[in-house]
Amino acid sequence: MQALRAGLIAVAAAAMPFAAAHAQTGIASHYSDLSQTASGRSYSSGAMVAAHRSHPFGTKLRVRNLRNGRSVIVTVVDRGPFVKGRIIDLSKGAASALGFSGLQRVEVAVVGGK
């Protein structure tokens, strides 16, 4: 019976898209202007970049605004956010493309690495 249950769980997991199976939901904010990121890359407010606490630099993330359904792909170039309850900091360009300024509830999923 346990083998059957384990098999069913494996089939169900395989049927879900990888990103959906490992999505993170929480609050996003956007950066204030800064000159350089933790990765050493110069910061441009219009670039599609983000700060995340644990994903390696260069990781591509799909960020979806849960209020309006818009999504963007960003590259992790910095560390943060360091405010409790927030899961990602976005460039102003990425936040604008998602249709928000300030704070917004989002879903974040890995779509690729370096």
34: pLDDT strictly greater than 90: no
Residues of the chain with pLDDT > 90, as a percent, come to: 61
**CA 78 – CA 20 distance, rounded (Å):** 24
pLDDT at 45: 86
Biggest alpha carbon–alpha carbon distance for the chain: 58
Task: Enumerate the domain spans of the chain.
Answer: 22-112
**CA 52 – CA 61 distance, rounded (Å):** 10
Residues of the chain with pLDDT > 70, as a percent, come to: 79
pLDDT in tens, 56-90: 999 999 999 999 999 999 999 999 999 999 999 99
On average, the pLDDT of the chain sits at: 83
**CA 54 – CA 52 distance, rounded (Å):** 6
Per DSSP, what are the bridge partners of residue 106? 26, 65
Mean pLDDT, range 91-103, rounded to an integer: 95
Q: Which residues contact 94 (CB under 8 A, 6 or more apart)?
A: 30, 47, 48, 49, 50, 63, 72, 74
According to CATH, the superfamily of the domain at 22-112 is RlpA-like domain (2.40.40.10)
Q: Count of residues for the chain? A: 114
